Structure 1
Amino acid sequence: MTPTLLPAAQPAPLRWRRSFPGGPEQARDVRRFVGCLLAGCPFLDDVLLAADELVVNALRHTKSGQDGGIFVVEVAQDGGMVAVSVADQGGPGEPAALDAGDLAESGRGLRTISLTAASWGWHGNGEGRTVTAVFAGHWAA
């Protein structure tokens, strides 16, 4: 009888989720959380920048930044792909990657993400939404 070769097992996708109180000091904790999970990732700086921008946007533009607000960060890793998502408690307006003027003090966050991530997007409404940035590269944890 001839032995049958089985294809090499692929590692299972990994997913982590954590909720944070809606205070501005939490951005540092989010960067630490994501950085520890993805240590060794060759594009970690871009992922951390995106996580920070998504958190700041949730705190500035949604109910998550109000007293008693919360937001949830999710990190997913599958082979060379990493996705970072921030779910907030909703607010007016929709996330958009705009070209801020040269003298603008804000408004560049999602534009920066759109230039560094493989893709980004959002779903939800004024009651709650999730914004996700996806990064891909040559990396396997």
Structure 2
Amino acid sequence: MSMPLTDASHDLGDDRYAMRWRRTFPGRPEQAQPAREFVAYLLSGCALADDAVSAVGEFVVNALRHTHSALPGGRFTVEVRRWPSGISIGVTDQGGTSEPAAREPDPMEESGRGLKTVAALASRWDWTGDVNGRTVIAVFDIAD
């Protein structure tokens, strides 16, 4: 399940100055809150913490709804990177048949807005991977 979150296409900043934390969680719905708390703790005092916590919440929900991470024995990994010019939040899942995409939600449905929300909060978001495992990343640039 290990996928790098350092793909150069994500332009995450100079790695010489980056701090990085990673934690793997069991693929169960009750693990969404501990994942959000993990990010909140690491980014305490950061102006972007609330947005990052929201993004990780959306990514975890998607991993548990749309990938193999929610199957018995499944898991997902949250990675937080912080450097002087920004932060990134990544969630690596165990893959599935659909690809992450921000779509126009049906106004009568309760779900389908997660990645649109992340797109509105983050400077950019992207994903990498395939049916065997994916990493979804949100990058938050710190304004000058």
TM range (shorter): 0.7 to 0.9
TM-score, normalising length from structure 1? 0.88
Q: Per-residue deviation at 1:80?
A: 3.0
Q: Per-residue deviation at 1:107?
A: 0.5
Query: Within the alignment, does 1:36 sit opposite 2:41 as a pair?
Result: yes
Higher helix share: 2
RMSD of aligned residue pairs (Cα, Å): 1.3
Q: Which amino acid aligns with 2:137?
A: T
Q: Which runs of 4+ in 1 moved over 6 A?
A: none
| 1:1-141 superposed matches below 5 A | 12-138=17-143
Structure 1 CA distance, aligned partners of 2:17 and 2:121?
26
Identity %: 50
Structure 2 CA distance, aligned partners of 1:91 and 1:137?
33
Q: Per-residue deviation at 1:84?
A: 0.3
Q: Per-residue deviation at 1:138?
A: 4.0
Structure 2 runs not aligned, ≥5 long = 1-15
Structure 2 CA distance, aligned partners of 1:101 and 1:71?
28
Structure 1 CA distance, aligned partners of 2:100 and 2:130?
10
Structure 1 runs not aligned, ≥5 long = 1-10
